[in-house]
Every structure is written in C-alpha cells, then in structure tokens.
Amino acid sequence: MSARVHDITLNRRQFLIVGSSVAGGLVLGLPAIGADHGDSERMIGYFIEIASDGSVVIGSNQPELGQGVRTALPMLVAEELDVEWSKVSVRQMPLGIVKTADGYTWKYGGQGVGGSTGLTSNWDYMRQIGATARQQLIRAAAERLGVRAHQCTTRPGVVTCGSLGTEIPYGDLVADAAQLDVPDEAPPLKDIDDYRIIGTQQKTIDALDMVTGRTRFGIDTVEPDMRYAVIARAPVLNARVKSFDDNDARKIDGVLDVFTIEGPEPGAPYTILASGVAVVADSTWAAMKGRDALQIQWHESANATDSSEKFWRENEAALETTGQVVLDDGDFDTAMASAVKVVEGRYRVPFVSHAPLEPQNCYAYVQEDRCHIIAPTQMPSGASRAAAAVTGIPREHIHVDMTRVGGGFGRRLTNDYVAEAAMISKQTGWPIKLLWSREDDIRNDFYRPGGLHELRAGVDADGKVVAWTQRLASGSKYYRRPNMPDENLWQAELYPDDFPKGLVDNLRLEYFHNTIGLPRGSWRAPAHTANAFVIQSFLDELAHASGQDPLQLRLDMLGDERELPYNGHGGPTFNPGRLSRLIRFVADRIDYGVERPAGRGVGLATHFTFGGYAAHAIEVTVSDDGRLGIERIVAAIDCGLAVHPNAVRAQLEGGTIDGLSTALGLEITVRDGKVQQSNFHDYPLARIAAIPAAFETHILPYDDVPTGVGEIVLPSAAPALANAIFAASGKRIRNLPIGDQLAA
C-alpha cells in the first residue's frame, strides 16, 4: 500500500482515503487505523477497489441475512461511481472498530442490522463514497488532458471530455487518481431522475454461490485445528448445574473435554441465557453423543412452577385491575361514557421463537492477547463486546468476521452464543466451533413476548370513534435488561404514537408486566406484530358491531395525507394518508367490493412500522368442517424510494409468509418451567402447500428517500388473514395461533 493519504470529513465520525492497491488499482475507503494484521486486512477494509481492467470490487459493511443488503448497498456506490453493475463484485467486510480516548468508534461506518435500518442509515454514506471516487477519476482525467474538472463528466466506466471529444476508461486513470488528494468538499450527488442502477431490477449478487452450495455460512466455518463444541442446557428455565458425571461421555471416541459453563445469576441481565455443561470433541457427532451420555444434576429453579396456564391466568386477573397508564389523551372516561356503542375484545398473542434455519453457532479462538470470532450475527459490535466481556481481551484485539447469516429475524441481535464460544475456547485454549442443535434453539431463545390485549372503543351516533383504549398484560422484551427501571418496561410493548394516536381524541394505553421466566427479545418488527394484529382485528370487529364497512371505517379514521408527529423508531412523522392509499389499492386489486359465496371471504389490514407503510388483502375459503385455504394474497408496500426493488418484493413475499406461518401454527408454551416445543415437528413452520401461487406484490413509490423494508412487510399479514377468516366463516380469531380453532 503506497498511498498518499489525505483525510476528508464525510461526517463527524468517518474519514476517507484514497490509495493504490498492490496491483496498481484505485482504492478508496477508510484507513485501517492501527492496522496490525498486515496488508490483506487493510485491503478488506476498503470500500471500493477499481482495477486497471475496469472491474470494481465494493465492500459491503453490513451483515447479510437474506434481506439483500449485500446487493443494495453496493448498488448505491456503483450508482454514484457510474459504473456498469455487471462489472461489480462485492466483498463482505469484517467488523471495524477503532479505540478512541473515550471508547470505540466505527472504522467502516456503523455496522449492524436491526430495526430495518441497514439501507436507510447507509443511504447518504455509501452514495458519497461512490461520488467521491468518481470525482477522483474525473480530476485525474482533467489533469491529464489539461482541462478543468468541470469540463469532464462520465458515462459508465469512462470519463468523457466533451469539448475535446476524448474518452478515457476508468481503468486507465486509476494510477493517477490514486495520487490525488481528496478535496475537502463532498461532491454533489445525482438527481433521482438520473439513476441508472438505483431502483432498477437487479439480482442477488452472490446467488450463484448460494445455489451451488459454495456460500460459507457461520456453521460452515472450518479453521485449522478446530474442535467442535456443544452445550448441555438446563431443561428448566434458569436452572443451574449442581454436578455432573461425565464418565460415559468421556468414553465416547472423539470426546476431548467436558466442563461447566457459568450463566448469569437468575434475574440478572443475560450474558448467556443460563449455565450448562460444554462438551468438546473432534467432530460434531462425537460432541453430540458425548452430550447425550452426560448425567447432570440441576439445582431447583425459582421458575420451576412457571407455566403458560399460569401466565394467561395472571394476565386475565391483571386486566381486572388498574395498570400503568402510559398514554392518556383527551378525556377518555367522559368520552367513553358518552359513546352510543361500546365494543370490546380480548386477544392473545403467544410467545414465539425466531428459529432461523441456520442454528446458532460461532467459531472462537481465544489466545493470550487476542481473539478471533467468526459468526453469523446481526450485531458484530455486540459480538466483539460479548467476547471481550468473557475473555478480558480489549476489543481492539478481537477480530470479528461476519459470514452470510442463515436467517436472523432479530435472534442474532443477541450475541450470547458468541460469549459461549469464547468461554469454551478460553477454557480449552483450542479454536472451537460451537453448534446449537435445533432443540437447543427452540427451547432456549429470546422469544417474542406473549401478551393479553384488551381493546375497547366507543363510537358516537355517526359511527365516529370517540374513545379508544388498549390495555396490555405481557412479558416485556425489556425484562432482565441492564439498567432498565420497571416503569419503563412498557416501552418495548406499546408504541404510543402508533395508530390511532392523533386520529382518536380520547385515547388511553395501559400496561401490566408479567414476570414469567421465559427470556424475551426482538422478533422481526417487535411489538408491531402483536399490536397490528390486535388493532387491525379489532377495527374489523368495531366496524361490524357498529354497522360500518371495515374498509370505510379505516379510511375515515386514517384520512388524507398529512404528517403527524411520531416520536418512536421510524419517526419523526407518520403520514396516515399513505396507509389510506395502500389499503385502497390492495382492496381494489382483490375486488373487495365483490360479494363472495358463503365460505369465502376477503380481509384487509394496514400498518405503519419503523418509517415504512404496508397493507395486505387476503382471500380465504373455510369449509364446513373448518378447513382453511389461503386462496389469494395481495401485498403492497410504500417504502419511499425502492432502491433494490427485487429485494423489496422478496421481502414482501417472505415477510408476508412469516406473518402467516406464525399466525397459523406457531406458539411456545411452558409447563413446570420447561419449554414444551423442541423442533419443527411441534414448532411447525408453514410449508409451500400453505402458500398459494396467487400471490401479488406491489411497490407504491412515494418520494426520493428509502425507508427500511424487512420488518415493515410483516405486521399487517396476520390480521388480514384473521379478518378474511371472519368474512368467510363468521368466526373471529382472538387467540393466536389459529391452530385448529376453525375445526367445527
């Protein structure tokens, strides 16, 4: 790397440099500050590398879980760089953090995907990187031709100088461009009308590797001298290891070591979920057999009497009392008393598991003064923190490589499995790959919280909703979070600026916490999945009970386009008119107004999640003996500007199916402190037969700024299904999952 280095401020925390690669290409990116891994690591750190043959490698700094970010972010760079997309390949970058006086900062921009922010938070940043590289090439050409830079422009892969009629391919300019300082001022970005790549139909850039089995997921990691580890986990929530007999386990060929892993104090914030016994072997199978042969005595757990029955009983009882009022707009009691009709319903939303198809796993190699982690993770900085906490090694000496992730859904925001792997490597001194079995995964998750919701609304003589309340008793996601006061637990479960805030004058939200010992965490679109289901189902009930049409009632409440303040994630504003547009659109597509025969019906729902808008219309049949058929699905999203529309559609398909699969059959239950489900036979994800061929996706463009997508597409699917079931059968689904509730 022989580069003249010049820093420019891209934004407050990030710096750009240009340089030349070993092969003489142009490299533009971020300096590998304090690089002590040699040139190969420095190379990986760069965002763009243009070779002299004009081919381009773009670094993707975010974890790829199937949401398409590995393709979408390079599209932003390539757009502003002005190259043919076919010339681009992509390289996954590792975690980059740099020690500063008061902590750590990012080396390659913020890294981590949750809350559908992967694209939105990198939108400006990645485009600026591309535009800066293009400007370097233009300046190199201008210098060579003896003209001013503004007399030159580009077409894909080529700098053109109109007045001289000269064209120079990027590849011929890279050596010169690498020698030029980067000006302080960021170059202007393209106008939306000039986009040639953003918003166009592109395919997943590494699909060939995926369909030929060449992609390496975390579970596929193989490193020199690597051993294999599994952990025997407590059958009862929070039980601790009392003692174990490993005589038989150690007799198994290939078993190398067996020892206790210490978990957090019961009730304390999670480091890992709970204690267990680790088995290390020379193959996965030997480790699993060794684990089966262990005899473990567990301490009695305080959660040994936890059960789902008790959880629901307690929630029912709680709703008979007064909870924590977290929102109280207008004069709720007076308005409710004045209503000519009051409608009420209670809905149950169960705990569910993430169950990404790639089970949790992590490679760790802890040495004296450094540590190497290879993990499928949504939050690589969390992986670095987790490994630092259990090894005591400073984070700048922990190298975290990210693999393609076999599904995340929020599970891999938590890096407990990274901490476990680091503990096992530290204890043995070996490089190890920890694997969770599917049973480990389903029985030991940070589940989506279950809760009992009570909805009540009053309408006046004109059918206008004048008072509305939602009362929720649930296990908050914030349970066992560090520094989390009890009075804030509700914040993970009720989003006060959601619908119908600002649309109903007298509005009250009330919360009751349930302390069941099930761990909980973020599950794709967190509380939006529960709240959209209950609110969109209840709106249907309210419409029918007050003699109104469910579509019209929604349109009346949502109204036209206007911005309402929204303080939660996805703000600062919420535009209910964008939901009106979507729900009208899907209703039209599915011929909502057309009468169906008995046993067939259509349901609608729409929801605003994390800055994006979505709606579903679903048509079902319900036979006399209660067999449900999903006949047709129309899904639509308004995500502002769709940068990578093919991936937006894929998310619309996948998110809808996730919502439906979960509503149809998924539930985690507890008895005697034990999670009752263990694998896909009793945690039955939907299969292809449940999903009709008649499935349309629509992207309704809005403005020139992208919102996230991955979570936005999910919440309205389940209530649209429940509303369709009601339209077809007259049966109202108030408890999820639907299971066999329709059986006569």
| Residues in contact with ligand FES by the rule CB under 6 A | 66, 357, 407
From CA 249, how far away is CA 258, in angstroms rounded?
8
Token pair 């998750």: residue: 445
Least CB distance from residue 692 to other proteins, whole Å? Answer: 8
Question: Counting contacts by CB under 8 A, is residue 656 touching other proteins?
Answer: yes
Instruction: Give, as one character, the DSSP assignment of residue 265.
Output: P
Question: Counting contacts by CB under 8 A, is residue 628 touching other proteins?
Answer: no
CB within 8 A of 197, min separation 6: which ones?
Answer: 75, 78, 79, 85
Least CB distance from residue 715 to other proteins, whole Å? Answer: 15
Of 197, 149, 216, 213, the residue nearest 176 (C-alpha) = 149
Which of residues 12 and 681 has its CB atom nearest to other proteins in the complex? 681
Which of residues 70 and 107 has its CB atom nearest to other proteins in the complex? 70
| Region of 43-51, 207-215, 610-618, 724-732 interacting with other proteins (CB under 8 A) | 207-215
Least CB distance from residue 348 to other proteins, whole Å? Answer: 24
What, of ligand FES, other proteins, none, does residue 472 touch, CB below 5 to 8 Å by kind? none
Q: Which of 101, 693, 743, 744 binds other proteins (CB under 8 A)?
A: 693
| Region of 122-130, 152-160, 304-312, 430-438 interacting with other proteins (CB under 8 A) | 430-438
Of 643, 609, 610, 639, the residue nearest 707 (C-alpha) = 639
Least CB distance from residue 223 to other proteins, whole Å? Answer: 12
From CA 342, how far away is CA 339, in angstroms rounded?
7
Q: Which of 12, 101, 146, 222 binds other proteins (CB under 8 A)?
A: 222
Least CB distance from residue 357 to ligand FES, whole Å? Answer: 4
Give CA angle at 665 (662, 666), nearest 5°. Answer: 55
Question: Counting contacts by CB under 8 A, is residue 212 touching other proteins?
Answer: yes
Residue 714 in tokens:
């999910």
Of 486, 488, 480, the residue nearest 516 (C-alpha) = 480
Of 268, 117, 128, 110, the residue nearest 184 (C-alpha) = 128
Residue 27 in tokens:
């490299």
Q: Which of 94, 171, 263, 359 binds other proteins (CB under 8 A)?
A: 359
Question: Counting contacts by CB under 8 A, is residue 688 touching other proteins?
Answer: yes
Question: Counting contacts by CB under 8 A, is residue 726 touching other proteins?
Answer: no
Which of residues 35 and 357 has its CB atom nearest to ligand FES in the complex? 357
Give the chain's count of helices (H) and strands (E): 17, 33
Can you list the alpha helix ranges (DSSP code H) found in 433-568? 438-443, 526-545, 550-558
Question: Counting contacts by CB under 8 A, is residue 220 touching other proteins?
Answer: yes
Size of the site for other proteins (CB under 8 A): 61
Residue 522 in tokens:
């973020």
From CA 217, how far away is CA 405, in angstroms rounded?
6
Q: Which of 208, 317, 337, 598 binds other proteins (CB under 8 A)?
A: 208
Which of residues 13 and 216 has its CB atom nearest to ligand FES in the complex? 216
Contact 199, 702 (CB under 8 A): no
Classify the C-alpha dihedral 482-487-493-498 as positive or negative: negative
What, of other proteins, ligand FES, none, does residue 204 touch, CB below 5 to 8 Å by kind? other proteins
Question: Counting contacts by CB under 8 A, is residue 681 touching other proteins?
Answer: yes
Question: Counting contacts by CB under 8 A, is residue 679 touching other proteins?
Answer: yes
Residue 12 in tokens:
């407050």
Least CB distance from residue 654 to ligand FES, whole Å? Answer: 8
CB within 8 A of 121, min separation 6: which ones?
Answer: 110
Q: Give the interface with other proteins as residue ranges (CB under 8 A).
A: 65-68, 203-204, 207-208, 210-217, 219-220, 222, 228, 253-254, 283-286, 289, 355-359, 404-409, 435, 437-438, 646, 650, 653-658, 661, 679-681, 685-689, 691, 693, 695
